[in-house]
Amino acid sequence: MAPPAQSSRNPSPSQPSGKGEVSDLRSQLRQLAGSRAPGVDDAKRELFKKVISYMTVGIDVSSLFGEMVMCSVTPDIVLKKMCYLYVGNYAKVNPDLALLTINFLQRDCKDQDPMIRGLALRSLSSLRVANLVEYLVGPLGSGLKDNNAYVRTVAVMGALKLYHISASTCLDADFPAVLKLLMLNDSESQVVANCLSALQEIWNSESSTSEEAAREKEGLISKPFIYYLLNRLREFNEWGQCLVLELVAKYVPSYTNENFDIMNLLEDRLQHANGAVVLATIKVFLQLTLSMADVHQEVYERIKAPLLTLVSSGSPEQSYAVLSHLHLLVMRAPYIFASDYKHFYCQYNEPSYVKKLKLEMLTAVANENNTYEIVTELCEYAANVDVAIARESIRAVGKIALQQYDVNAIVDRLLQFLEMEKDYVTAEALVLVKDLLRKYPQWSHDCIAVVGNISSKNVQEPKAKAALIWMLGEYAQDMDDAPYILESLVENWEEDAPEVHLHLLTAIMKCFFRRPPETQKALGMALAAGLSDFHQDVHDRALFYYRLLQYDVSSAERVVNPPKQAVSVFADTQSNEIKDRIFDEFNSLSIVYQKPSYMFTDKDHRGPFEFSDEIGNLTVGAESEHVVPATSVDANETSDLLLSTSEKEETRAMVADGSDYTAPFYDSSNPALPLQSEPAITGLLGAADPGPQASTAIDDLLMGLDLTAPPAPASAPPPLKLNARAALDAGSFQKKWRELPVAMSQECELGSQGAAALTSPQALLHHMQANSIQCIASGGQSPNFKFFFFAQKADEPSVFLVECKINTSTTKAQLNIKAEDQSTSHEFLALFQSALSRPEAAIMALAAAWRRVSSSATGVATQSLPDCFRFKQRSFCSSATAVASADTLLAKLLQLSTSQIKRALDSVVAGRSSDLAVSESLVASLASSSPQKAKLILEWRLERMLNDGEKDRSLYSNLISLCAKIRNVPLAMTMFTSMEDRGIQATASVFNSLIHTCLSSNEVITALSLFEVMESSETFRPDSETYDTFISGFSNFRDTHRMRAWYQAKREAAYLPNALNYESLISCCVKVNDFDSADLFYNEMMAQGIAPSEKILDSVLEGLCKRRNCERVKEFVNFLMECRFEISGRLIEKVVKLYCELEKPDEMEMLLDALVEFNQVGEALLQVHCGIIRLYASLDRLDDVEYTVGRMMSQGMSFSSPGDVERVISAYFRQEAYDRLDLFLEHVTRYCKLTRSTYDLLVAGYRRAGLTEKVDSVVKDMESSGALAC
């Protein structure tokens, strides 16, 4: 018999190699258990040390439990500690053994030595055995009343441990009330701090189910308690001070001076030696001044020195934690830290994680004054032996180049990187040069000259190779060897990653359009390689390009290589809302991880920062290492940079030399490029039309690859004609509406002229009737209208039913169409949209006349005003023509540089009557994408008015209001001064426009100064609109205190509140989670008889859903239906989402029954049906899914989105119910058409299950339905 294998790891001499050593320890412990001989305690210590050391290395010594307990009967505190450690460790694993320790621990809890009492109580509460909690209540109660502060401190934390073991036992013993009494009256600061920590945790957990706990939780941030803690702040240790300061940061002072009192009291905490206390104090300062922009900026200036001091002192780990917080502040306000950029230089002995943060901050603070020094420093790091830091430094140089106006010197540095003989340096530089050319195409000549000297064989990293390929394709006409380099890359196709293949296909297509003879071979090889590639994206792109070329070469060029604009701003990796939430979690791990807490904690442990998981969907764009994290800020733009990130302007003014760019493209009129003419391309590929010749040429290009060409498009069907005398009674309409499924659902644009004309619903009814579309019901008030239309085919009795919801403020219409003949639904939709979006002059004239009649107190009939009718008709026609031409003018302005804007406006806009309409439309379109051009348009409009000697005060007021869209207060003030210089008397309306512009630009002080001017004047005193402007402005700032103050001021000024005021008040309160105030304002509004708008109802419901109060949500929705409010899809979506999150299908079924009972139709009913199906599918309740799907379709409705169908299919796959899935698909496909993504899901699911026949069947269905070509 072979000897047993020897262990490769010999046991340590200090470790027992078998059970013999444990037996020896047991016998020695028994001998010492009852001994009173001198030196016995020393012997016990040695034995206890051995036991603990064995336990620490993982050896099971639980068999010594009884002996250890017997030996613990000693006054020696060291022995007690070791015994308690042993007991606490094995009590969790063997609860039965823990029962043996209860007697001696309870006995020790009554020991004369307070240290032993505290240690015993801590060990007893650390057993964490649910069956033994009854033995813990008594000692804890005694410990909380103990005369010694240490014992009380331990007892407080023991009460918290008891709550986590058995919450009901803790609450029944009334420990929270005892802890509250201790917190308010105990003289020992550590006891108070422990009580505060324990009560916060208990009340946070209980507040969702107990109103009393919720009130107690709110009481922690009440003024008396906060002042009590602040007065005792210096008594607490560092941990206690951080705990108190975290609570103070949540406190909202009742008046401004209170903010300053608290900050003055905490001023010395900024000099504390402990970094945690400093950060906690900084958080208080930042939160207190969020609504005061000027003071907030001063806080940034004040906290710079303490933070920089902490960074330079302490360990690298501490420096990193402080740097992470400093990084957040720098990203929010780079201008303030721009002069301190040298503090962010890297030291040679710093860890790489510290250097990386510093590089990001150097990038953020770079501006016109320090860019040269920063870039010089960064270039030194590029030669760093640490490759990761070298890469980061090169990326930092590129980011600075992308956010600066003067990039001459930076571009030279980047091009020097390309000449360095280091692979990683060249790779990073290539990626940055690509981004640089996308923003500054005027540098293409210099960059391409250097890039052309780089061999593709020396570039191995996929991102770098993709960048090089992009430049070869984009600038193929400037690089002689571009087609041949691309061809060599195709020959080595298998060596590259899919990312490179995707870029290579696109680049070869671009090169082919510019240099077809030289690229023909490479294109054929690339398409053939792509079509045979296993990667799905590569295969799809190659197939798409092949079919595009086969269809029409000219169309292919327009799709693949259209004229482009220069990129002005690169997408950020995080949404503004995520950044704001990270800022709200200042002084926590969220800052270090640079993500909100919900992204790295379990739901059960999210604490005070519990947010919805949906914030994860707010990231913008794909992850990229080349993103501009912050933009340079002018000195005079700092007033708003410190507030919420989501309230800032998204972009700066565009670069004058590079803001407008059309990518190089072939011009057939250029005699220097004879080979790039369109006839040359069509000669290679056949005629432009997709006929047999084109197919043959493409097949030749692909070297005989067998791909069947798609059939030629069928001839267009005859146009749909409607019966002008169609008739349908209300009962028949309602019956058909219930029976027919929704054939089409779409949102369409009305157009500016259509929205202007439809301020009266009668205008729309007459116009649609003229297009053979009849209205059977209408309702609503401006800006929201709702109509039900019907139409009938001219040659047969089949009808179309339409639900049309119009919002004139957003100029959008939501259409739901049902049809007896669904095959003609698309044609009818096109006809309906055409009639709706292009109203003729007649409808505008009728609308003008109707408004005139409606507003007349005498009720004069329309036909008695022929002159007015004709005048209004001419006026509206000219306005409509001007606005209609605005789209064309906008497209032209986007292509021009800023220096050409005014000249273009002078040449295009000739008449004075259309100036204002054109200005409004263009400014609204350009306000977010190109504020500099929008500003030039307003300047042009002002100059035109001044040259024409315009005296109309309302025109100046409207022009000032437009300045709010681009947040430009100086321009608004210039307009105001120009108006006064012309002798035009200012009115309250003009001042209101100025105030609105100031508040939109976050210049609160200027707005308040204007209000003071109005108050001191006799001719333009503040009116109701003035107060409305302030209420709305502070509502947008989420400053509830000032918003309420202005609301109260309006009432004191004897102005009655209106629906707009309540809309602002309720919306703001809900956004800041002040739900009680929102309820108060809503009840006040209803008591005054003011009908709530849809936005108010939406805010109220949002507040109820945020509180997760299903009962109140149900009552509110029922109330709306009983009052005959229309339940919109937007409202019901919030309720459905809440019920889905809480997994309450029964509540959803009750909601559906209520909607049916109150005759709610359309989108709301469909939303609930689909929500129920989604919820059952997520719970894998297939029986319920099938029942609800059948019920929905029997009522003439179908799935609202392909995603709902795919959720159901996924549920079938999870349950492996393939036969039931076939029945479901057979039933569903009768009512809705499956999309390409749904077919892909089926293919993937069947393939994973190994059902090859079903995969083939799905592919055939895809081919027959046309989804394969999508």
For residue 1024, pLDDT beyond 60 = yes
pTM of the predicted structure, to 2 decimals: 0.51
How far lies 114's CA from each of 82, 835, 987, in Å?
17, 89, 78
Confidence of residue 606 (pLDDT cuts 50, 70, 90): low
Sheet holding 742-749, edge to edge: 742-749, 812-819, 799-807, 784-792, 774-781
Per DSSP, the residues of 41-68 read: HHHHHHHHHHHHHHHHTT---GGGHHHH
For residue 14, pLDDT beyond 70 = no
State the Cα–Cα distance between residues 478 and 62, nearest whole angstrom. Answer: 80
State the Cα–Cα distance between residues 469 and 466, nearest whole angstrom. Answer: 5
Confidence of residue 917 (pLDDT cuts 50, 70, 90): low
**Contact assessment for residue 1148 and residue 1174, using Cβ atoms and an 8 Å cutoff:** no
Q: Which residue, among 1230, 1241, 1237, 1239, has the nearest Cα to 1260 in the 3D structure? A: 1239
Share of the chain above pLDDT 90, in %: 17
* Least-confidence region, from 87-101, 539-553, 824-838, 1204-1218: 87-101
For residue 636, pLDDT beyond 60 = no
Residues 905-916: what's their mean pLDDT?
56
Per-residue tokens: 175: 């420990």
**Contact assessment for residue 1025 and residue 988, using Cβ atoms and an 8 Å cutoff:** yes
For residue 544, pLDDT beyond 90 = yes
CA 241 to chain centre: 34
Within 54-150, strands assigned E span: none
Predicted confidence (pLDDT) per residue in 666-716, tens digit: 333 333 333 333 333 333 333 333 343 444 444 445 444 444 444 444 444
For residue 1144, pLDDT beyond 90 = no
Per DSSP, the residues of 998-1032 read: HHHTT-HHHHHHHHHHHHT-SSS---HHHHHHHHH
Peptide bond before residue 783 is cis, with ω within 30 degrees of 0? yes
Angle at 934 between CA 928 and CA 938, to 5 degrees: 145
Residues 510-518: what's their mean pLDDT?
91
Q: Which position has the token pair 């004047």?
A: 1017
State the Cα–Cα distance between residues 153 and 130, nearest whole angstrom. Answer: 23
- For the chain, helix, strand, coil in percent to 5 are 70, 5, 30
Residues 1177-1195: what's their mean pLDDT?
85
Domains of the chain: 19-245 (1.25.10.10), 457-570+674-709 (no CATH), 730-839 (3.30.310.10), 1114-1232 (no CATH)
Confidence of residue 147 (pLDDT cuts 50, 70, 90): very high
Confidence of residue 228 (pLDDT cuts 50, 70, 90): very high
Residue 252 buriedness (CB in 10 A; 0-12 / 13-18 / 19+): middle
Residue 864 buriedness (CB in 10 A; 0-12 / 13-18 / 19+): exposed
For residue 645, pLDDT beyond 50 = no
pLDDT at 57: 83
Q: 1161 vs 1060, which has greater pLDDT?
A: 1060
Predicted confidence (pLDDT) per residue in 985-1001, tens digit: 788 888 888 888 888 88
How far lies 641's CA from each of 186, 218, 561, 1210, in Å?
45, 32, 38, 46
| Residue 1231: other Cβ atoms inside 10 A | 17
Q: 762 vs 1208, which has greater pLDDT?
A: 1208
* Least-confidence region, from 243-247, 502-506, 878-882: 878-882
Per-residue tokens: 1102: 């949002």
pLDDT at 923: 74
pLDDT at 465: 92
Continuous H helices in 654-783: 678-685, 692-701, 730-739, 752-757, 761-770
For residue 74, pLDDT beyond 70 = yes
| Mean pLDDT (the chain, rounded) | 77
State the Cα–Cα distance between residues 270 and 279, nearest whole angstrom. Answer: 8
pLDDT at 861: 34
Confidence of residue 278 (pLDDT cuts 50, 70, 90): very high
3-state secondary structure of 290: coil
Predicted confidence (pLDDT) per residue in 835-892, tens digit: 876 554 444 443 343 343 333 333 333 333 233 222 223 333 333 344 345 556 666 6
pLDDT at 641: 40
For residue 38, pLDDT beyond 90 = no
Per DSSP, the residues of 1098-1129 read: HHHHHHHHHTT-HHHHHHHHHHHHHTT----H
Q: Which residue, among 642, 705, 680, has the nearest Cα to 291 in the 3D structure? A: 642
State the Cα–Cα distance between residues 434 and 466, nearest whole angstrom. Answer: 10
Per-residue tokens: 323: 């740097």
Residues 790-811: what's their mean pLDDT?
83
State the Cα–Cα distance between residues 1038 and 102, nearest whole angstrom. Answer: 55
* Distant-in-sequence, close-in-space partners of 731: CB < 8 Å, separation ≥ 6: none
pLDDT at 963: 84
State the Cα–Cα distance between residues 368 and 376, nearest whole angstrom. Answer: 14
pLDDT at 279: 94
Share of the chain above pLDDT 70, in %: 79
State the Cα–Cα distance between residues 395 and 713, nearest whole angstrom. Answer: 50
Q: What is the sign, positive or negative, of the torsion defined by CA atoms of 918, 923, 926, 931? A: positive
Angle at 750 between CA 746 and CA 756, to 5 degrees: 150
For residue 1157, pLDDT beyond 80 = no
Predicted confidence (pLDDT) per residue in 261-275, tens digit: 999 999 999 989 899
pLDDT at 422: 83
pLDDT at 358: 92
Measure the CA dihedral 149/153/155/159, to 10°. 150
Q: Which residue, among 1069, 1067, 1085, 1068, has the nearest Cα to 1077 in the 3D structure? A: 1069
State the Cα–Cα distance between residues 19 and 62, nearest whole angstrom. Answer: 12
Confidence of residue 48 (pLDDT cuts 50, 70, 90): confident
State the Cα–Cα distance between residues 839 and 755, nearest whole angstrom. Answer: 10
Element housing 182 (H / E): helix 175-185
State the Cα–Cα distance between residues 1196 and 487, nearest whole angstrom. Answer: 57
Q: 213 vs 665, which has greater pLDDT?
A: 213
